[in-house]
Structures are given as C-alpha cells and as structure tokens.
Structure 1
C-alpha cells in the first residue's frame, strides 16, 4: 500500500473506532429504553428533545458556565499547587516522605465528605472550587512526584558531568519527563473536577448543572435529568479536546500525533 493511502487509512481507523463506540452506546441506550420504558430510561430522541428545550429556554448556558467556573478554578489550583509540590517531593526525599502520607489520606476521604465540610466551612460560594481542589490536587501531586522521581539517573549523572545549569536541568530534563506522567493524570483530574463540581452543586442547591439535576429529580423528570448528564459529558469532552490536547501538543512537540494513554473520560 502506498504512503498517502496508508496515512489516510491510519487517520481513518481511530475515527471509525469512535463512531462504532457511539453507535453501540446509542443502540444499548435504545434497547434499555425499550425494555424499561421512559420513566426509567428515556430514549435518545426524548433526551435530545429535553436538551433542546433547556437550551432554547435559556437554562443550559448559565448552568454550564457556573459549573465550568467552579470546576476550572479548583482544577487549576490543583494543577499549580499539586504540580509544584509534586515536583519538589520528587526532587527532595525528606519532603516526599512528609507529603506522600498526607496525599494518600486526602485521596482516602470520600468526595461527599469534602462536600459536606466545604459547605460547613465556606458556604455555597466557595464549596465547589475548594472541593474540586482538595480531591484533584493529590492526583496531580502523585503524578508529578513520580515523574520527577523516576528520571533516569544516567541522564542526571551526564548532566552533572557537563555542569548543566539548574534552570536548564529543570526546564529541559525534569519538566519534559514529568509531563509524560502528568498529562494522563490531568485527564483523570479534569473528569473528576466536573463530577465533584456537579455533586457539590447538587447538595448545595446553588445553581449549575448539579442544581438542574436536583430539580429534575424532584420533578421525576428522567428525560431532563438525562439531558443534564448528556450536557455534562459533552462539556467534559470539549474541555479535554479543546484544552488538554492543544496544551499537550504545545508542551510535548516531540510526540507528534501520538497521544499518551487516556485516563480521563474512559478511566474515570
């Protein structure tokens, strides 16, 4: 097979896989609707109609923006703080010995417990970014620490022998290696950030997609609840492909089109 044709089919295969997966999900969804009825599981068509009514009625956009604002604020704080502490912990063994048990403890506390505490401590306004931060930061920390710690000792010895400046060592050796561990964790943290943000809104009743889900549950409107869920999944996919993927390509140009294994949507 010639080069251009091979490249064309190489690009086509992943798209066929995505399309096949979507068709399978819709088919199973329709089968579930036929088996259990619209009260338990509305059809894809009914869900899309409810979503369209939410968009046309002006309910969807404000809710999405509110959820997005709280989730991204907590997520970015987790990336900055967790990434910086993880890098330092990977470089300094005593600091890693101190911070690793704390990160494990934070990961062991259920997100719903953090939601309750955040509402008691900060109220509804700051509950979403705080809960997102405290649940996502340990994931980013662990990935950053492992990336910094697992750098090849031979490369470090060679850099030391050639007296490479510390700034160059950090920018050209530690950071690129750490990013290969960090980006899959960022995909996971981003998916978790949106789910935790929605759960916090559902408990607090302070607006957003979570508040919309709570209202749909109170009204026993399964189609509207599924529409909110569909909106959340679409938002997550948009963030991953419009935010994380361009960032990865910019910071990891040596990978070309080869993406690291994903652990966000599929692994959450």
Structure 2
C-alpha cells in the first residue's frame, strides 16, 4: 500500500515538474508575440501584457466568467458526445473489418465538409441555440476519436490476448484488463485533439450564429475594432482549454501509460 502511494506521488511529481518545459514554450511564444507587437504596433497586434491586462479587466468586471462558462459547457457537451460516439463506433469497427471498410468512405465525406458548412446547416435546423454548437462539434470531432479508437484496436498485441485466453480469461475480462489499455494509448491523444477542436469549433459556431458566449463577445469586439478585447477573449478561451486538457485528460493519460515508464531510456526496469 505504501509503495503504491509513493509510486503515485512520484508520478504526480514528475508530471508537475515536466510543466517547466511547457512554460518555456509559452515564454518563447510570448517573446515572438512581443516581437510582432513591436514590429506592427498595438492596432495590429497588442502586446502580451496589454492583452493580459484586458483579460484581467474582463474577469474583474464579471463579464468573462459567465461567457466562458457558457462556451465551456457547449464545448464539453459536444466533446462528451463525440468521445462516447467515436469511441464506441471505433472499437466496434476495429473488431469488425467489414464495418471498418464501410465506415472509411463515410469518414472521408464527413471530414471533407468544412465545419463552417455544418454551422450553416445547424443554424437552419436549430437556430442560434446550444444544439447548433454541439452538433457542429460532434460532427467535427467524432472522426478524430473514431480513428484513434480504431488504430488502438487494430495495433493491439494479440499475443497478450491469446495468453490471457490460455489462462482462462473471458472476452470481457481480456478487453477490460488488456485491450482497453492498449486502445487508450492511441485513443487519448485523439481525445486531446478532439478537445482542442471542440473549443475552437464552439467559439467559431458562436461567432457565426450569434449564439452568445466567447464567440459572441469576439463578434462585438470585431464590430468595435477592439483588438485588445478580441485578443483578451482568445487568451481566456485558450486558458480554459489548457486547464481542461492538463487538469483532466493529461493526468488520465499519464495514469494509463504508467506501465510504459520502464521502457523509457531513463527508466528503471523492474
């Protein structure tokens, strides 16, 4: 018990310590942003500190919390539906080559239609509502999750499955204890990509359909040529996405992939 707690705490410490590399990347991005500001001026690209101050003003005024919560709710709803539908369909198609062959042309058609076209169709069907945003996210993100689940199923180590079957493990137990962890290796990166797409599509759908949220705030900033305000809303939306990704999906990914630690060059095989 003590060893398990110690091992979990050490993995958490390594996960938190690895944030320094991410912070270094963000600092580099901020430096390039500042260079662009000094080259083109505030009207084209406000300074990072100016944008952060505008974002803090939005939070202080109380406007940002409500709009960010609305956009996050819509993005989370669309992402959850895409994750469930894409995972279930991908696992079924991965175990059934016939279904996979039929699904691939459909995926090509769905991916080939740009998200803005789905937004227009959803606006006609549902108007400026949450369903417009959620449907656009589901259609845009489901193929990514589907292919991640399929890739996890078809690349799994069938030898481990056969060994577990030889020791008397049933199909459900083999799937839960062996196949699911191998599928998660490919599925979780697809879910991370789908989460980012969910927030981007949500903001775009809100902006085009005038459905409120961060997209509606961006539309108002555009109409008033408020460049600092527009950049502040973008910064806040990205901050919420980073919190959602590194507060939810990345820890789950690290937990499920803990068995691969020994295979790393600096790992200790046990």
Asked if Structure 1 and Structure 2 have the same fold, meaning a TM-score greater than 0.5 normalized by the shorter chain, the answer is: yes
| TM value normalised by structure 1 | 0.87
Please say if residues 151 and 177 of structure 1, whose CA atoms lie closer than 8 Å, have aligned partners that are also in contact: yes
Please say if residues 161 and 179 of structure 2, whose CA atoms lie closer than 8 Å, have aligned partners that are also in contact: no
Hey, what does 1:206 align to over in structure 2?
A: 211
Hey, what does 2:192 align to over in structure 1?
A: 187
TM-aligned CA deviation for residue 153 of structure 1: 2.9
Specify every segment of 5 or more residues in structure 2 that has no aligned partner in the other structure, as ranges.
1-10, 265-270
Hey, what does 1:155 align to over in structure 2?
A: 160
Hey, what does 2:5 align to over in structure 1?
A: none
| Candidates 62, 79, 88, aligned match of 1:75 | 79
In structure 2, do the counterparts of structure 1 residues 258 and 223 end up closer, same or farther at CA, with 3 Å as the change threshold?
Answer: farther
Please say if residues 191 and 236 of structure 1, whose CA atoms lie closer than 8 Å, have aligned partners that are also in contact: yes
Hey, what does 2:96 align to over in structure 1?
A: 92
In structure 2, do the counterparts of structure 1 residues 15 and 239 end up closer, same or farther at CA, with 3 Å as the change threshold?
Answer: closer
Asked whether 1:32 is paired with 2:36, we answer yes
Hey, what does 2:3 align to over in structure 1?
A: none
Asked whether 1:60 is paired with 2:47, we answer no
Please say if residues 165 and 174 of structure 2, whose CA atoms lie closer than 8 Å, have aligned partners that are also in contact: no
Q: In the aligned structure 2, how far is the partner of 1:173 from the partner of 1:12? A: 28
SS for the counterpart of 2:187 is helix
TM-aligned CA deviation for residue 249 of structure 1: 4.0
1:95-174 maps to which residues of 2 (within 5 A)? Answer: 95-125=99-129, 126-174=131-179
SS for the counterpart of 1:39 is coil
| Candidates 17, 23, 29, aligned match of 2:27 | 23
Hey, what does 2:8 align to over in structure 1?
A: none
Hey, what does 2:46 align to over in structure 1?
A: 42
Q: In the aligned structure 2, how far is the partner of 1:253 from the partner of 1:243? A: 16
In structure 2, do the counterparts of structure 1 residues 227 and 101 end up closer, same or farther at CA, with 3 Å as the change threshold?
Answer: same
Q: In the aligned structure 2, how far is the partner of 1:11 from the partner of 1:184? A: 16
Q: In the aligned structure 1, how far is the partner of 2:237 from the partner of 2:263? A: 27
Q: In the aligned structure 2, how far is the partner of 1:84 from the partner of 1:75? A: 14
Q: In the aligned structure 1, how far is the partner of 2:253 from the partner of 2:16? A: 22
Please say if residues 249 and 256 of structure 1, whose CA atoms lie closer than 8 Å, have aligned partners that are also in contact: no
| TM value normalised by structure 2 | 0.86
Specify every segment of 5 or more residues in structure 1 that has no aligned partner in the other structure, as ranges.
1-6, 260-268
Hey, what does 1:235 align to over in structure 2?
A: 240
TM-aligned CA deviation for residue 29 of structure 1: 1.5
Q: In the aligned structure 1, how far is the partner of 2:89 from the partner of 2:133? A: 22
Q: In the aligned structure 2, how far is the partner of 1:121 from the partner of 1:135? A: 17
Hey, what does 1:264 align to over in structure 2?
A: none
TM-aligned CA deviation for residue 99 of structure 1: 1.6
Q: In the aligned structure 1, how far is the partner of 2:17 from the partner of 2:62? A: 38
SS for the counterpart of 1:124 is coil
Q: In the aligned structure 1, how far is the partner of 2:197 from the partner of 2:124? A: 22
TM-aligned CA deviation for residue 198 of structure 1: 0.3
